Chains A and B, each alone.
Chain A
Amino acid sequence: MTQNEQMMGDERIREETFFARLMKRPELGAIAGVVLVTVFFLIVADESMFTLAGVMNFMQPAAQLGILAAGAALLMIGGEFDLSLGSMVAFSGLVFGACITALNMPVFIAILCAFAAAAAGGLINAQIVLRTGLPSFIVTLAFLFILRGATLVGLKVATEGSTQLRGVRDAAGDGFVVNLFSGDAFPGLFVWLAEKGLIDTFKNGTPKVSGIPVEIFWFVIVTAIATWVLLRTPVGNWIFAAGGDSNAASNSGVPVKKVKTGLFIATACCAALVAVITVLDAGSTDARRGFQKEFEAIIAAVIGGCLLTGGYGSAIGAFFGSIIFGMVLIGLSYTNIDQDWYLVFLGGMLLVAVLFNNMIRKRVTGER
């Protein structure tokens, strides 16, 4: 018994407080950020920002970014970047739009084509990075331009000279598949809630919010899958290992190259998902779709606790990082503050997050 006690305890190790444990969670910074930003807007902004309609307003851009950020976060934890993410949105948007309008394909097939194009892009990125050993930063930077340019050229070909492809929404029509990727979910529920007087309505009795925008569902689903994979599957362990030290990982039998290839493809598929959702939403696509989203997604991932050096981070953190983005982007219009402060805020937030992450990493690894 005494021996057992000896084995269980060690007088040199202090019990960790709840707070100390919390400090080690990678997503802590992002959650703290959400709280801070919420408090800020509760004080400064018009109170309509936090009505149901207001929340849906800022959750929509947050969700579109968050889908990308979940992929970017996983890829960063795996030790790579994808700067071609935004251009990938534009490119797969073009593929999707062109398949529907110019080639008259059914929506379902067009969506498959968009995903296939993105996956191929991700595969090419991965193969070049892994075979040449070049930093993914440079390789995907090249594809940032290549894909953006290819989109522009492709648009002109598909539309015979224009840089905007219109009429996607009309050609897509209405159907189960279209409803999966566009519009609002649960309209019936919201009508019912309005009838019961539980949510705000217009004067004629229709609810102000007609449903939950589908991208918010996708946002939650993608984050949930990413978190599940990361924390509860062997592949998740391989992702951490590949990003932490790819040499040590492959010595221990982790298929590092397969993991990284998979991550590049998965990230590209997130871009395709955002492309399909936003193109159906707007009814058209153009060459600027997804512009600079690669940076925003990486910033959201970093705010979410991902280290630039890989091997550490969380998809939940990227989730909250994206919500911060949405809140500030939309929230500023509820205040008297000039909206252009948004970019200043973006840079500032990134800087604070990186400093904070460095501190956290030192805590985790016990570096001094």
Chain B
Amino acid sequence: MSTPIVEMRNIEKHFGNVIALAGVSFDVHPGECHCLLGDNGAGKSTFIKTMSGVHQPSAGEMVVQGKTVTFESPRDAMAAGIATVYQDLAMIPLMSVTRNFWMGREPTKGSGLFKRLDIEMANETTMAEMRKMGINLRGPDQAVGTLSGGERQTVAIARAVYFGAKVLILDEPTSALGVRQTSNVLATVDKVRKEGIGVVFITHNVRHAMAVGDRFTVLNRGRTLGTAKKGEINPEELQELMAGGQELAELEGSLGGTV
């Protein structure tokens, strides 16, 4: 396999005397979807925040395309091509899709006093990028507030991809979505992956992970419980790993295997 775009080696993160991460190793290759699974409190959020430059690791090494890096801020991570789409999306409902898409990176034309927004280019690009992701907008001036949750996720993903993300971190993108919207987002993940972008997909839903994942890493209590390739593991085993084994088997029995 190719060399990883991002490699996290034995990352540790301590908050005072709380050890949130106790040595996590994780990597993403171009064009793969690497799922990071774990129950609440497993350290998923801390880990991706470390990866996206929000937190600085207490110990361990981050390697981006063969070079050791340290991120001081999310801006550094973005510059290195690591984009994060958070659950509470950085989207403004009252603003149009175009204005949201280009927010903070507006294209301009002209110079001096006549430097102005390149509205035509912005509109066309937005429509085209959204169409690529399978979303037909009513128009580029449609407000983000009128989009469904899944569509908003897709706008955020399309934006990250357009601005040159090499690695896309998706923080529980499907957790608040309905069935149909979830499948739309999963389809988007698949499209992004085919463009050669590495996707880090954080979820605690095994089914969603199995649907798009190439590899699966399970976090529990700040440690990796191991990484498995697609086909090497079945959903039940994954579920069990996530819950830490013990009582879930009993629970599953009583619920008829529906968890």
Q: Give chain A's interface residues, CB within 8 Å of chain B.
A: 7-10, 13, 16, 228, 231-234, 236-238, 240-241, 244-245, 248-249, 251-254, 307, 311-312, 361, 364-367
Contacts and interface: CB of A to CB of B under 8 A. Distances in A.
A245 B152 CA distance: 15
Given A7-B136, A254-B104, A248 B99 contact: no
Contacts of B102: 237
- Measured as residues with beta carbon below 8 angstroms from the partner, the interface class of chain B is 20 to 34
Contacts of B259: none
Contacts of A10: 136
A365 B103 contact: no
A252 B84 CA distance: 11
A268 to B, nearest CB: 22
Contacts of B119: 232
Contacts of A307: 94
Interface stretch (B85-93, B173-181, B192-200): B85-93
Contacts of A237: 95, 99, 102-103, 106, 117
B145 A367 contact: yes
A251 B90 contact: yes
A240 B92 CA distance: 9
Contacts of B138: 13, 16
Name which of B89, B92, B136, B146 has the most chain A CB atoms within 10 A of its CB.
B92
B117 A240 contact: no
B234 interface: no
Main secondary structure of the interface of A (DSSP, over half): helix
B143 interface: yes
Given A232-B117, A248-B90, A366-B145, 12 more contacts: A232-B119, A233-B115, A237-B102, A237-B117, A240-B94, A241-B92, A241-B103, A249-B92, A251-B74, A365-B94, A365-B145, A365-B146
B14 interface: no
B104 A361 contact: no
If over half of B's interface residues share one DSSP class (helix, strand or loop), that class is named, otherwise mixed; here it is loop
Nearest to B135: A10
B92 A311 contact: yes
Nearest to A241: B103
A361 B94 contact: yes
Contacts, number: 82
A366 B136 contact: no
Contacts of B67: none
Contact of B104 (A8, A253, A312): A253
Nearest to A14: B138
11 contacts: A7-B136, A16-B139, A228-B116, A237-B103, A244-B94, A248-B90, A252-B90, A253-B104, A254-B103, A312-B94, A366-B143
Contact of A234 (B92, B106, B131): B106
Interface string B113-143: 0011101000000000001000010110001
Q: Which of B74, B104, B105 has the most CB of A within 10 A?
A: B104
Contacts of A234: 106, 108, 117
B95 A244 contact: yes
Contacts of A232: 116-117, 119
Contacts of A365: 93-94, 143, 145-146
Contacts of B146: 364-366
Nearest to B119: A232
Contacts of A245: 92
B99 A253 contact: no
The 5 closest A-B pairs by CB, nearest first: A365-B145, A253-B104, A366-B146, A244-B92, A234-B106
B155 to A, nearest CB: 12
B75 interface: yes
Given A252-B104, A253-B104, A365-B146, A236 B94 contact: no
A248 B95 CA distance: 12
Contacts of B74: 251
A8 B74 CA distance: 36
A366 B147 CA distance: 8
Nearest to A16: B138
A364 B146 CA distance: 7
